Amino acid sequence: MTGTSPAVRGRFITLEGGEGAGKSTQLRRLSAALAARGIDVVTTREPGGSPGAEEIRGLLVTGETGRWSPVTEALLHTAARRDHLERTVWPALESGRWVLCDRFFDSTMAYQGYGLGLGRGLVETLQRAALGDFRPDLTLILDIDVATGLKRAAARPGGEDRYERMDRAFHQRLREGFLDIARREPERCAVVDADTDADGVEARIRAEVAARLDLAP
C-alpha cells in the first residue's frame, strides 16, 4: 500500500464530533442497520483500530492534559492512523467490506489544528503523508452544545478522559473546527444535530447515508 487511494469496492464512513456527541452509540446502530441490509461491515476507531495503533492510543487519551506538545500529539495520531489504514481499513475495503470508523483524520484537524492551535497547514501536510489522496466516502459530524457534550462525557465510565479534562475554551474551538471542516467540504461531510435523543440522531444519520451513498430506503 503506497498511501494513495486503493481500488476499493467497500465504502468508508467516519463519525466525528466533540466529546459526548454519541459517536460510539451511533456507530453501533448504523452498523446494525447496514448489516440488516446484508452489508458486510467492519467497525473500528481512532486512535486505535490495529494492535500498534491501540498502543499509541494509550499514550494519547490518558495522563495529564499537557503531557505532549501539540506537534507531538499530531505526530502520534498520524503514526497511529497510518498503521490503522495499512492493517485494518484498506484491507477491509479492498475485500468489499464497508468500514465504519469512530473518528478519523478530521479529529486530528479539529483537536490539534483548531483546538490546540496548530493551524491547518501542518496538519494537512501530515495527512498527505499518511493518507495520500484517500478520503472517506462520507463523514458524519455529530454537533452538540459544548456544555451538554461534556456533561454526557463525564458520565461515561473509564479513564480515557485526557481530552475531556481540557478547558472549556479548547472544546469550543474544537466544535467550531468541526463545523468549519464541514463548511469547507460539504460534498463529503454532513452535520447532524446530536443535541437530541439517540433515536432522532439515528434517523438523521440513516437518511444521510441513504441519500449520499445511494441506498434504497
pLDDT tens digits along 69-100: 999 999 999 999 999 999 999 999 999 999 99
φ and ψ at 29, to 5 degrees?
Answer: -65, -40
In a domain, 165, yes or no: yes
> What range defines the domain where residue 66 resides?
12-212
> Would you say 18 is a known binding-site residue?
yes
Could you give the number of structural domains in the chain? Answer: 1
CATH code of the domain covering residue 77: 3.40.50.300
> Would you say 19 is a known binding-site residue?
yes
Cell of 58: 494509550
In a domain, 158, yes or no: yes
Note the pTM of the prediction, 2 decimals: 0.92
In a domain, 7, yes or no: no
> Would you say 23 is a known binding-site residue?
yes
> Would you say 22 is a known binding-site residue?
yes
In a domain, 180, yes or no: yes
In a domain, 93, yes or no: yes
pLDDT in tens, 20-77: 899 999 999 999 999 999 999 999 999 999 999 999 999 999 999 999 999 999 999 9
SS3 45: strand
pLDDT of residue 210: 95
> Would you say 182 is a known binding-site residue?
no
> Would you say 24 is a known binding-site residue?
yes
Total length of the chain: 217
Q: Yes or no: say if 148 and 159 are a contact pair by the CB < 8 Å rule.
A: no
Q: Kind and range of the H or E element at 154?
A: helix 146-154
In a domain, 1, yes or no: no
> What integer is the mean pLDDT of 139-151?
94
SS3 176: helix
> Would you say 3 is a known binding-site residue?
no
pLDDT of residue 217: 61
Taking residue 45's Cβ as centre, other Cβ atoms within 10 Å add up to 20
* Percentage of the chain lying above the pLDDT 90 cut: 88
pLDDT category, 8, cuts 50, 70, 90? Answer: very low
In a domain, 102, yes or no: yes
In a domain, 159, yes or no: yes
